[in-house]
Every structure is written in structure tokens, then in C-alpha cells.
Amino acid sequence: MPAASSFLSRALDDGAVLRIAAPGDEDGILAAIHALAAYEREPDAVRTTTADLTATLFGDDPKAFAHVIERDGEIRAIAVWFLTFSTWTGRHGIWLEDLFVDEADRGRGYGTALLASLASVALERGYPRLEWTVLDWNAPAVGFYRSIGAEAMDEWTTQRMTGEALTALAAR
């Protein structure tokens, strides 16, 4: 399903533009991903390349999507997302994989603008959920999310399987 909706782009008060990512944005998106990894204390964890982003975001059958905020020719903030599906609602939802605003641009409303754009896409398409995770030690992000009405799913714990455990399970 294409990322496009009635939302295509929006000018922000400071002259920045919030828009759907386009081919050519890969370097800026990747730089934001690296900056997010450093902020989350995992600076060496990113394996994604610009070629990966090109294929995933802009290939013949995109599996993930991105909205960006660009100011003065530079990507200053990103929201990378993909579709989920709930068997309980019988509907897709949006999973926000990464939300990042350059440290110098925090407080400009970019995070709110990006999340509002995703909320608009969700509502337009009839998706009842916009979900994401946040590190429990990231108090500024947790506070921001509470301020816009997000609720913690305290009874749910994210599970992950990688590496040897993934390989061993696949071999069963």
C-alpha cells in the first residue's frame, strides 16, 4: 500500500516542510537513524544502508514508509513507519518504528507535526491504532508522548528474537 494519502506536504511555521519521504532522502534519513541510535546508547547497532532504505521505502513494493521534515535543504526530523494488523479490530494500524528530531530542532513542534501526520493517515484509512515503543529511561520522550495523549501499555512487554535463538527456532 503506498504511503501517499491526501497528506502530501505541509509548510511549518519556521519555514520547514513536513512531507512524505522521496527518493534522494536516503542519506538524510540514514543520518537521522544513526543519530537516534547514538541517542539510544547503541551507536554501533545500525546496519541499514542507503541501498536498504531505497529498496524498502521506494522499491516496487514498499514495506515501510517515512515522513520527513526538511529545512534549508536538510532533513531535520523523521518518522519511519509500517503497517500492522490487529486480529481483534480486523484492521491495519501504523507502527512507528523511529521518530527522531535533530537535537538542535527539538522544541519546534516537529515531533508533534510528524505524529499528527501519521494520525491523519491512520484516520483517513480507517486504521484505529498508531503505536510505538519508547525506552523507559527516555523521560523527555515519555513526557512528550503523555502530553499528546499517548497511553502506556504497561501490561505488554515487547519480545524479540535474533541471532542464534532465531536460527535455532527456525530449525525446529
Catalytic residue, candidates 39, 110, 127, 145: 145
- Provide the grid cell at 85: 494488523
Q: Helix, strand, or coil here: 23?
A: coil
For residue 96, count other CB atoms closer than 10 A to its CB: 17
- Provide the grid cell at 56: 524498502
Hey, which residues does 114 pair with through a beta bridge? none
Using the CB atoms, write b or e for 139-157: b if 16+ within 10 Å.
eebeebbeeeeeeeeeeee
Residue at grid coordinates 541499514: 48
145 is catalytic: yes
Active-site amino acid positions: 145
